[in-house]
Amino acid sequence: MYAPLFVAIGGFFGAMARYLVSRWAARRSPRFPLGTLIVNLLGSFLLGWLAGSGAADAAKLLVGTGFMGAFTTFSTLKWESVQMMQQRQWAKVVVYLAATYLCGVWLAWLGYHVGR
């Protein structure tokens, strides 16, 4: 009954956190999508931690589905990659995608084991 409310509340805070991280990162790295990289890597670790922690279903809805669903972003990652490819910034896009996928999987694994 409260599931949609938990997801909505978590989503609000996740979206706000993503916005703040993205703004902070854009000032420090205007030529590289550092904000998206940070939220996706941090989100990978935190979601892994949540999965390993044995958290209650309500916490999984609030933090996992709501907060992490709004905090992390798959579509922005893809669009930023396309933009770098259009600008022929091949090395940058390879580093971006490799860091996102390789480090993201490793951080999810690490988070899971830290949470256990």
Give domain limits for the chain.
Answer: 3-115
Q: Is 72 annotated as a binding residue?
A: yes
- pLDDT tier at 21, thresholds 50, 70, 90: very high
Identify the burial level of 1 via C-beta atoms within 10 angstroms of its C-beta, where 0-12 means exposed, 13-18 middle and 19 or more buried: exposed
User: What are the tens digits of pLDDT across the range 58-89?
Assistant: 999 999 999 999 999 999 999 999 999 999 99
pLDDT score of 113: 98
pTM of the entire structure? Answer: 0.93
Q: Is 36 annotated as a binding residue?
A: no
- pLDDT tier at 9, thresholds 50, 70, 90: very high
User: What are the tens digits of pLDDT across the range 24-63?
Assistant: 999 999 999 999 999 999 999 999 999 999 999 999 999 9
Q: Give the separation between CA 30 and CA 75, rounded to whole angstroms.
A: 19
